[in-house]
Amino acid sequence: MPNIKSAKKRVLIGKARNIRNKSDKSELKTVLKKFDAAVTGGSRSDAESAYKVAVKTVDKAAAKGLIHKNNAAHKKSALDAKLNAMN
């Protein structure tokens, strides 16, 4: 445990950020699962609305530094491929 006041503060800040990052990553995973469910459901309109939300969430995660920009591009490309593969 740190003795210096600033080091104690950094520990608290790190814990708060860890909680926020976990929440944001969980939200990202949930949105991607909802998109997958919409695609497997077969409804094109539901899939397209879920796609818009998923792309926006992935972009936000990349902007926050939650995921790398190349990872975000890879995820968006996979989403696009799944949407285009629908009949």
> What is the CATH classification number for the domain harbouring 75?
1.20.58.110
* pLDDT at residue 46, as a whole number: 93
Residue 3 lies in a domain: no
Query: Looking at the chain, how many residues does it have?
Result: 87
**Whether the Cβ atoms of residue 28 and residue 58 lie closer than 8 Å to each other:** yes
Nearest residue to 34 (alpha-carbon basis) of 18, 53, 58: 53
* pLDDT at residue 72, as a whole number: 98
**Domain around 67:** 27-85
Residue 52 lies in a domain: yes
Residue 20 lies in a domain: no
Among the residues of 1-87, which ranges form H helices? 5-41, 44-64, 69-85
Q: List pLDDT tens digits, range 18-77.
A: 999 999 999 999 999 999 999 998 889 999 999 999 999 999 999 999 999 999 999 999
Residue 17 lies in a domain: no
Q: From the CB of residue 23, how many other CB atoms can be counted at a distance below 10 Å?
A: 10
Residue 42 lies in a domain: yes
The total number of structural domains in the chain stands at 1
